[in-house]
Amino acid sequence: MRVSETLSPRAAYRLWARTWDQDASAIVALESRCLLPLLPEMRGKCVVDVGCGTGRWLAEFRRRGAVAVGVDLSVEMLGQAARKPGLAGLLAAADAERLPFPDGCADLVLCALTLGHLPDPAGSLGELVRLARPGGAVWITDFHPEAARRGWKRTFRSGERTYEIRNHWYGKAELERAGEAAGLELEEWREPCFGEPEREIFREAGREDLFEAARGTPAVLLARWRRK
């Protein structure tokens, strides 16, 4: 795979927003498969989806009866989210390190596949914690650093070109330290690998050989914290 250029997250999602929902991603499929069964009872709960993108999790929270809002730095991704039923008016454009919400406003704060775009994990995690009420939950999913060690990159196609998205790779030890410093108690940590449900995505991309090589490598990390 030849990468044309490495882009900042803002520039990357400006290009990718229009096709993001249609571009099959094994990483997104794996993350969704692992996170969905863990979602708690959500009816009436207040949820903030940080890095909501085109609203995939925000829509799920709304379907489950949560009072949910989404925030993202990319106005182009938010534009796509606003086209989905029931999401317009629940979206805000803002930096994840300076969120426009009051302290302790949320029962659950989710940051899905976004933390790696931020250069200061401790500061970013502290901002997520600020939004969670005492006893509330902070959940993070992201690309696994082992994937980076194997040479994987965060990439997407736009037209005939493939772009890499600038990313930081944070591991368990670093995130545990950041979480503890922010006043969080780690309740669950998962490091899932690709499985048979993702095989078809690789096959459709003509890369089933890559699936066999990748299936034993942790591809996603998932952390569930509770605010003390």
Picking from 35, 107, 115, the residue whose alpha carbon sits closest to that of residue 73 is: 115
Task: Round to whole Å and give the CA distance between 137 and 166.
Answer: 28
pLDDT at site 67: 97
Average confidence (pLDDT) over 58-83? 98
pLDDT at 218 over 90: yes
Task: Round to whole Å and give the CA distance between 228 and 208.
Answer: 44
pLDDT at 185 over 90: yes
pLDDT at site 43: 97
Domain hosting 30: range is 5-227
Give residue 71's pLDDT band: very low, low, confident or very high (50, 70, 90): very high
Q: Two tokens at 188?
A: 């669950």
* Residue whose structure tokens are 């929270």: 61
Question: Element (H or E) spanning 110, and its range?
Answer: strand 106-112
Judge whether 132 and 225 are in contact, CB under 8 Å: no
pLDDT at site 172: 95
- Residue 191: count of CB within 10 angstroms of its CB: 16
- Residue 107: count of CB within 10 angstroms of its CB: 19
pLDDT in tens, 109-167: 999 999 999 999 999 999 999 999 999 999 999 999 999 999 899 999 988 899 999 99
pLDDT at site 3: 72
Give residue 12's pLDDT band: very low, low, confident or very high (50, 70, 90): very high
Q: How many domains does the chain have?
A: 1
Task: Round to whole Å and give the CA distance between 39 and 31.
Answer: 13
List the CATH number of the domain containing 36: 3.40.50.150
Rg (CA), the chain: 17
pTM score:
0.95
pLDDT at 2 over 90: no
Task: Round to whole Å and give the CA distance between 140 and 154.
Answer: 17
pLDDT at site 1: 56
Task: Round to whole Å and give the CA distance between 137 and 204.
Answer: 37
pLDDT at site 15: 96
pLDDT at site 190: 97
Give residue 103's pLDDT band: very low, low, confident or very high (50, 70, 90): very high
pLDDT at site 215: 92
Q: Two tokens at 138?
A: 């902070």
Q: Helical H runs in 116-225?
A: 121-131, 145-149, 172-181, 196-204, 208-214
pLDDT mean across residues, the chain: 95
